[in-house]
C-alpha cells in the first residue's frame, strides 16, 4: 500500500519564507573564465535533448572501459525494472583503478587519508591496484564468490574503500552499513542480505578517543543460524577486542600471503554492484539494489560535469562517509573512475579544533569541496572568524547535498568559503537515484541560493499535482522522474512488490521520489522536503516508524509517535511523544525520574538503531491524536513540536486529545 502524504508539502517553512524563496532575485552567473574552461558546455544539454538514449550511450562509452562493448542502450520492457547497456560486460574495480594504471597514471595519488589523530597515508592508483587485488584474493580464499553479499561495517579509512573495490573485483555485492549504526541495525541488514562475510575494524577514532566497532559485530552475530562464516578485521586502533576462533580473521593476516595480481571478474552490465539500506516509511529499511554499467556511467558522468573535475590538477574532497550513498557515488565510484585525487578524513570537524576542515583544505590544496548543509550551518554557528584564519584560495567548486540548503547558508558558503567566486552546486538526488539528478552545472547555470534548479542533461524530472499534471510556474506538488535513467535502482532486495508500491504506484509510469517540490517563475525546481513519514536529520534519512518501533520495544513504553521538527542545525530533529505503561506513569510526574527516563529511552533508541536516531526531545503524553481509523495524526504533533498553534483537529476520533496534550506539556515536568 502506498502511504498517502498526510502533510502539506510546505510544512517546513512558513508561506512567507517560501514566497520569498520562489521570488529569489539573486543570481550568480558563471565567470567567463570558468565558463571557458568548464567540462560542461551548452552542447551537452543540446545533445541530450536531441536523442536522450544516444546521449547516455555516448556517456557510457566515454566514461567507462568495457570488456565487451554493449549494443543495446535501454531495455524498458520489464518496467519498472530497467536494463541499461545489458549486453556489455565490464568490471567496476578495473574501471576505478586498473585502467588508470594501464594508462600510465599509476603514480597519481588516489587517496590522501587523514586520520583523526593526525596520522596520514597516501595511496596512489598503483597502491590501490595492489591492495584491492590482494584483498580480492584474500576474500576469495575465505570463500567469497561472485554474487555473494559482503557486509562492510567500517570507519572511514582507506581499507573501507579497498574492501568495496575488492568486492567489485570479484563480482561480490557489497552492502556497507554505516559504522554509527547499532548492532541491532547491523544484524537486520546481515539477515536481510543473507551475508556470508562481514568486514570491520577493531575501532576508530572519534572526538579524540578510540571507539570500538568490533563488539557491535559480535553482538549482531550472536544469533542462531547466523549466515556469516567469517569476520575480517582491520586493526585501526589496536584496542583489545574479543576474538572468535575460526570465524574472525585479521585483515593483515589474510592479506599477508595474498597475491598482488587478481584478474577482475568481467560481469554483465546488469550484475548487482551493491545493496545499500535506507529508511522507508515502514519500520523495515529497504535494501536498495544498484547494478554495474548504468550506475557507474551516471556516477562518473555527473562527477565529471557537476564538479568540473580535472583529474590531473584538482584535489577533490567529499566529506561523506562511505556508509551513505554519497560515499558510494562521490567518494568511491565517481571520483576513482574519473581518476581523481581525493582526500578522505576519518574524524569530526571539531577535533582537535573547529578549524580542522579548513586546515585540511589548505594542507592538500583542495579545489572541490562537497558537503552537507548541516555542516555549513554548524560552521556558521561557530563563526566565520574560524575559516577566516585559513587561506582556502585553492577552492574553485563547492557542492551541497542531503537536504535543501537555506539561502542564508548558501550565501555564507559562497562568501566565506568560496570567496564570492567558487560556483555552488546544490545537488538533489537519493540513494535510489544512485547519482545526481537535479543540479546547476558550473560554467553554464546562473546559480540561485536555495534551489537545485534544473534536471541534468539526460534526466527528465517534473513537479506534478495530486493528479499527475505538471504544476504551473509558482506552483507546488510532488517531484517525479518521468523517464528511466542509467543509475536508477533496480529494485528492493528481496521485495519486488515493495519496490513497485513505493515508487511506481503513485503516478503511473513515473518514479515518485517522496519529495515535495515547487517550480518558480523561471521554471527552476525548489525541493521542499519529504511528503511521507521519512525524516531528514543532518541529511540522513530516518523513518518515523523505525524510531517508534524502537521506542515501543522499551519495557516502559506503551505507545509512541515520532515526528521530525525543524531544527536550526540539523534541518530536522527527532521529537518523540510517548505514552508510558501504566505502572511507570508515576515516573513522569517527578522531574528527577523523568530525566532518567529520557536518558534511558534515548539510550535505548541508540542501541536499537544508532546514535543519529536519538530523539532531541521526548514528551510524555497521556494520549496520542488518532483518526477514527487509528492513524496517528503526526501533522498535529509536528505543530506541538514546532511550538505552533495546533491545526485542524476535527478529524480526530477524540477531539479533546490535543487539549490534553497541550495542557500536559505546559507543565514543566513532562518534557
Residue numbers of the site for ligand PRX (CB under 6 A)? Answer: 278, 325-326, 401-404, 426-431, 452, 513-515, 527, 530, 536, 540-541
Instruction: In angstroms, give the least distance from the CB of 329 to ligand PRX.
Output: 8
- From CA 556, how far away is CA 660, in angstroms rounded? 21
- From CA 667, how far away is CA 450, in angstroms rounded? 39
Contact 585, 593 (CB under 8 A): no
- From CA 211, how far away is CA 213, in angstroms rounded? 7
Q: Mind giving me the DSSP string for 464-515?
A: E-TTSPBPPTT-EEEEEE-S--TT---EETT-HHHHHHHHHTTTTTSEEEEE
Instruction: In angstroms, give the least distance from the CB of 430 to ligand PRX.
Output: 4
Give whichever of 325 and 560 is closer to ligand PRX, judged by the CB atom.
Answer: 325
Contact 227, 181 (CB under 8 A): no
Which residue's C-alpha cell is 513532562?
670
Instruction: In angstroms, give the least distance from the CB of 86 to ligand PRX.
Output: 25
- From CA 102, how far away is CA 50, in angstroms rounded? 35
Residue 138 C-alpha cell reads as 584474500
Instruction: In angstroms, give the least distance from the CB of 598 to ligand PRX.
Output: 27
Instruction: In angstroms, give the least distance from the CB of 535 to ligand PRX.
Output: 10
Which residue's C-alpha cell is 511528503?
531
Give whichever of 155 and 327 is closer to ligand PRX, judged by the CB atom.
Answer: 327
Give whichever of 196 and 535 is closer to ligand PRX, judged by the CB atom.
Answer: 535
Instruction: In angstroms, give the least distance from the CB of 409 to ligand PRX.
Output: 12
Instruction: In angstroms, give the least distance from the CB of 532 to ligand PRX.
Output: 9
Give whichever of 57 and 537 is closer to ligand PRX, judged by the CB atom.
Answer: 537
> Residue 175 CB: number of other CB atoms within 10 A?
24
Instruction: In angstroms, give the least distance from the CB of 607 to ligand PRX.
Output: 22
Give whichever of 233 and 436 is closer to ligand PRX, judged by the CB atom.
Answer: 436
Radius of gyration over alpha carbons of the chain, in Å?
24
Instruction: In angstroms, give the least distance from the CB of 539 to ligand PRX.
Output: 6
Residue 541 backbone phi and psi in degrees, to 5 = -85, 135
Instruction: In angstroms, give the least distance from the CB of 459 to ligand PRX.
Output: 14
Strands (E), 241-284: 248-250, 267-268, 272-278
User: CA distances (Å), 616 to each of 116, 537, 562, 565, in order?
Assistant: 27, 11, 11, 9
Give whichever of 214 and 286 is closer to ligand PRX, judged by the CB atom.
Answer: 286
Task: List beta partners, residue 573.
Answer: 565
User: CA distances (Å), 380 to each of 328, 358, 388, 446, 510, in order?
Assistant: 28, 13, 12, 24, 39
Instruction: In angstroms, give the least distance from the CB of 439 to ligand PRX.
Output: 8
Q: Report which secondary-structure segment, H or E, holds 198.
A: strand 197-201
Give whichever of 228 and 401 is closer to ligand PRX, judged by the CB atom.
Answer: 401
Instruction: In angstroms, give the least distance from the CB of 501 to ligand PRX.
Output: 17
Q: Is the bond preceding residue 140 a cis peptide, omega within 30 degrees? A: no
- From CA 386, how far away is CA 217, in angstroms rounded? 38
Give whichever of 291 and 430 is closer to ligand PRX, judged by the CB atom.
Answer: 430
Give whichever of 204 and 326 is closer to ligand PRX, judged by the CB atom.
Answer: 326
Instruction: In angstroms, give the least distance from the CB of 508 to ligand PRX.
Output: 21
Give whichever of 14 and 222 is closer to ligand PRX, judged by the CB atom.
Answer: 14
Give whichever of 237 and 371 is closer to ligand PRX, judged by the CB atom.
Answer: 371
Give whichever of 113 and 503 is closer to ligand PRX, judged by the CB atom.
Answer: 503
Give whichever of 237 and 427 is closer to ligand PRX, judged by the CB atom.
Answer: 427
Contact 514, 531 (CB under 8 A): yes
Q: Are strands 89-90 and 267-268 parallel, antiparallel or unpaired?
A: antiparallel
User: CA distances (Å), 231 to each of 130, 137, 172, 227, in order?
Assistant: 22, 16, 16, 11
Q: Are strands 557-567 and 109-114 parallel, antiparallel or unpaired?
A: unpaired
Strands (E), 40-188: 74-75, 83-84, 89-90, 109-114, 120-124, 149-153, 173-176
- Tell me if residue 323 falls in helix, strand or coil: coil
Give whichever of 125 and 333 is closer to ligand PRX, judged by the CB atom.
Answer: 333
Q: Are strands 248-250 and 491-492 parallel, antiparallel or unpaired?
A: unpaired
Residue 245 C-alpha cell reads as 576462533
Residue 441 C-alpha cell reads as 552545472
Contact 171, 269 (CB under 8 A): no
Instruction: In angstroms, give the least distance from the CB of 538 to ligand PRX.
Output: 11
Amino acid at each position: 500500500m502506498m502511504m498517502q502524504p498526510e502533510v502539506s508539502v510546505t510544512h517546513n517553512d512558513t508561506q512567507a519564507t517560501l514566497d520569498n524563496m520562489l521570488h529569489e532575485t539573486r543570481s550568480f552567473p558563471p565567470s567567463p573564465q570558468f565558463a571557458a574552461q568548464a567540462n560542461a558546455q551548452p552542447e551537452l544539454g543540446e545533445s541530450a535533448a536531441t536523442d536522450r538514449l544516444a546521449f547516455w550511450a555516448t556517456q557510457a562509452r566515454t566514461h567507462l572501459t568495457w570488456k565487451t562493448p554493449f549494443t543495446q542502450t535501454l531495455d524498458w520492457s520489464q518496467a519498472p525494472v530497467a536494463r541499461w547497456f545489458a549486453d556489455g560486460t565490464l568490471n567496476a574495480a578495473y574501471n576505478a583503478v586498473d585502467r588508470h594504471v594501464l594508462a600510465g597514471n599509476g603514480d597519481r595519488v588516489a587517496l590522501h587519508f587523514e586520520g583523526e589523530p593526525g596520522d596520514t597515508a597516501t595511496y596512489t592508483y598503483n597502491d590501490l591496484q595492489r591492495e584491492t587485488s590482494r584483498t580480492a584474493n584474500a576474500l576469495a580464499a575465505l570463500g567469497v564468490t561472485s554474487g555473494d553479499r559482503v557486509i562492510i561495517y567500517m570507519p572511514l579509512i582507506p581499507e573501507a574503500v579497498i574492501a568495496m573495490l575488492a568486492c567489485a573485483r570479484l563480482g561480490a555485492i557489497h552492502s556497507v552499513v554505516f559504522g554509527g549504526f547499532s548492532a541491532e541495525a547491523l544484524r537486520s541488514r546481515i539477515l536481510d542480505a543473507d551475508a556470508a562475510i562481514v568486514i570491520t575494524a577493531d575501532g576508530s577514532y572519534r572526538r579524540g578517543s578510540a571507539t570500538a566497532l568490533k563488539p557491535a559485530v559480535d553482538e549482531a552475530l550472536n544469533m542462531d543460524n547466523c549466515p556469516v562464516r567469517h569476520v575480517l578485521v582491520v586493526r585501526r586502533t589496536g584496542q583489545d577486542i574479543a576474538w572468535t576462533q575460526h570465524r574472525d580473521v585479521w585483515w593483515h593476516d589474510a592479506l599477508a600471503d595474498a597475491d598482488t595480481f587478481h584478474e577482475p571478474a568481467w560481469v554483465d552490465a546488469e550484475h548487482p554492484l551493491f545493496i545499500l539500506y535506507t529508511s522507508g516509511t515502514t519500520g523495515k529499511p529497504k535494501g536498495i539494489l544498484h547494478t554495474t554499467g548504468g550506475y557507474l556511467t551516471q556516477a562518473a558522468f555527473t562527477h565529471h560535469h557537476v564538479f568540473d573535475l580535472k583529474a590531473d590538477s584538482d584535489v577533490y574532497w567529499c566529506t561523506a562517509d562511505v556508509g551513505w550513498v554519497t560515499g558510494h557515488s562521490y567518494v568511491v565510484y565517481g571520483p576513482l573512475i574519473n581518476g581523481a585525487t581525493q582526500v578522505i578524513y576519518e574524524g569530526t570537524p571539531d577535533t582537535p579544533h573547529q578549524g580542522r576542515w579548513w586546515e585540511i583544505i589548505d594542507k592538500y590544496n583542495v579545489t572541490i569541496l562537497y558537503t552537507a548543509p548541516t555542516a555549513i550551518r554548524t560552521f556558521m554557528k561557530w563563526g566565520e572568524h574560524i575559516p577566516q584564519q585559513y587561506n582556502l584560495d585553492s577552492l574553485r567548486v563547492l557542492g551541497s547535498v542531503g537536504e535543501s540548503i537555506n539561502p542564508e547558508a548558501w550565501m555564507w558558503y559562497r562568501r566565506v568559503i568560496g570567496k564570492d567566486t567558487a560556483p555552488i552546486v546544490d545537488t538533489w538526488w537519493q540513494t535510489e537515484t544512485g547519482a545526481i539528478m537535479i543540479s546547476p552545472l558550473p560554467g553554464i547555470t546562473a546559480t540561485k541560493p536555495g534551489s537545485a534548479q534544473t534536471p541534468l542533461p539526460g534526466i527528465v524530472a517534473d513537479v506534478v499535482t495530486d493528479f499527475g499534471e505538471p504544476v504551473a510556474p509558482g506552483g507546488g506538488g510532488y517531484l517525479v522522474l518521468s523517464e528511466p535513467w542509467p543509475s536508477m535502482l533496480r529494485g528492493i532486495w528481496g521485495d519486488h512488490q515493495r519496490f513497485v508500491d513505493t515508487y511506481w504506484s503513485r503516478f503511473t509510469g513515473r518514479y515518485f521520489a517522496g519529495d515535495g517540490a515547487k517550480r518558480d517563475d523561471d521554471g527552476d525546481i525548489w525541493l521542499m522536503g519529504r511528503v511521507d513519514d521519512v525524516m531528514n536529520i543532518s541529511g540522513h534519512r530516518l523513518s518515523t516508524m523505525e524510531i517508534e518501533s524502537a521506542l515501543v520495544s522499551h519495557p516502559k513504553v506503551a505507545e509512541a509517535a515520532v515526528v521530525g521538527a525543524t531544527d536550526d542545525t540539523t534541518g530536522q530533529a527527532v521529537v518523540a511523544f510517548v505514552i508510558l505503561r501504566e505502572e511507570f506513569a508515576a515516573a513522569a510526574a517527578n522531574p528527577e525520574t523523568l530525566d532518567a527516563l529520557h536518558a534511558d529511552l534515548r539510550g535505548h533508541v541508540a542501541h536499537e538503531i544508532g546514535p543519529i536516531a536519538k530523539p532531541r526531545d521526548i514528551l510524555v503524553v497521556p494520549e496520542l491524536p488518532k483518526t477514527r481509523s487509528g492513524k496517528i495524526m503526526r501533522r498535529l504533533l509536528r505543530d506541538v513540536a514546532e511550538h505552533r498553534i495546533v491545526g485542524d483537529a476535527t478529524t480526530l476520533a477524540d477531539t479533546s486529545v490535543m487539549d490534553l496534550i497541550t495542557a500536559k506539556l505546559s507543565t514543566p515536568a513532562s518534557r
